[in-house]
Amino acid sequence: MSLLDGSALAALPAHAQLLLAHGDVPTGGARTGVLLAAIGLGAFHGLNPGMGWLFATSFGLQERNRAAIVRSMLPIAVGHELSVLPVAVATAVFASQATRAVVVGVLAVLLVGFGTYLLLRRRHFRWVGMRLSARQLAWWSFLMSTATGAGLMLAPFIAGGSGGDHVLEHALSGSLWTAVLAAIVHGLSMLVVATTVALAVYSIFGLRILRTAWVNMDRIWAIAFIGAGVFVWLG
């Protein structure tokens, strides 16, 4: 339902009247919510040692140089972004083309199914060797991010902030822009947090913190997937 009365709506350009009448345009509040969620998920990935900061810390220890940590984090962040961005864009396009019921059903099944797979799997993604070039680091990060569904967790937030009518090109354009922006801020958040943790472990805590403060981030991530799927279905 439009928030404007009939005279005010009639004064707007034709395309604006159409968008407001459908009420499916990503609003400023919805877009802010998507970006905040993207930042939060990026911070979570940055805290996970399996997503890059442990690799970066090992580079710093090998070269006994903090700059090596920063240099290694850049290709790791690029690989992460290359995994997340296509999923974010695909989600925005899908959410703009399908009905809300279809989007909710598909996302709920994907999230719960992938979370269950992560929770029950016995074999984990592994990489042989710790002396990697920048290209190998980016490739490792891409594979690790893809294997753990880094971009998929953004899907319910991006779909929730997308337009739902396939005839509205403006709504689709706005949704794509929101998806791209969400993927970028997600990657930046991951980069900042992971680099900060790697530098703190290198300079202050040392690797002994892994023995005294280890948290199974993979299990938390898997449970979060299942919870997100249930939330999408019930919401």
Long-range contacts of 208-211 (CB under 8 A, 24+ apart): 210/49, 210/54
**N- to C-terminal Cα separation, the chain:** 20
For residue 190, pLDDT beyond 90 = yes
Q: Tell how far CA 43 is from the center of its chain.
A: 10
3-class SS letters over 124-184: CCCCCCCCCCHHHHHHHHHHHHHHCCCCHHHHHHHHHCCCCCCCCHHHHHHHHHHHHHHHH
Confidence of residue 18 (pLDDT cuts 50, 70, 90): very low
Confidence of residue 7 (pLDDT cuts 50, 70, 90): low
Of 1-5, 9-13, 72-76, the range with the highest mean pLDDT is 72-76
Question: Is residue 209 helix, strand or coil?
Answer: helix
Per cent of the chain over pLDDT 90 is 30
What pLDDT, on the 0 to 100 scale, is given for residue 3?
42
Confidence of residue 191 (pLDDT cuts 50, 70, 90): very high
What pLDDT, on the 0 to 100 scale, is given for residue 206?
77
For 85-136, the pLDDT digits (tens) are: 999 999 998 888 888 889 889 999 999 999 898 888 776 666 656 677 888 8
Rg (CA), the chain: 20
What pLDDT, on the 0 to 100 scale, is given for residue 233?
85
For 40-70, the pLDDT digits (tens) are: 999 999 998 888 888 889 888 888 888 999 9
Is the pTM of the predicted complex or chain greater than 0.85?
A: no
Q: What mean pLDDT, rounded, does the chain reach?
A: 80
Q: Residue range 13-36: average pLDDT?
A: 59
Residue whose tokens read 């984990």: 124
Find out whether 112 and 226 touch, Cβ atoms under 8 Å: yes
For residue 180, pLDDT beyond 70 = yes
Question: Is residue 30 helix, strand or coil?
Answer: helix
How many Cβ atoms are within 10 Å of 22's Cβ, its own excluded? 15
Q: Report the amino acid identity of residue 17.
A: Q
d(CA 57, CA 51): 12
For residue 83, pLDDT beyond 90 = yes
d(CA 149, CA 119): 13
What pLDDT, on the 0 to 100 scale, is given for residue 87?
94
For 210-225, the pLDDT digits (tens) are: 666 666 777 888 888 8
d(CA 233, CA 226): 11
Which DSSP category does 50 fall into? G
Q: Residue range 152-159: average pLDDT?
A: 87
What pLDDT, on the 0 to 100 scale, is given for residue 234?
83
Q: Which one has a higher pLDDT value, 11 or 188?
A: 188
Residue 168, φ and ψ in degrees, nearest 5: -95, 95
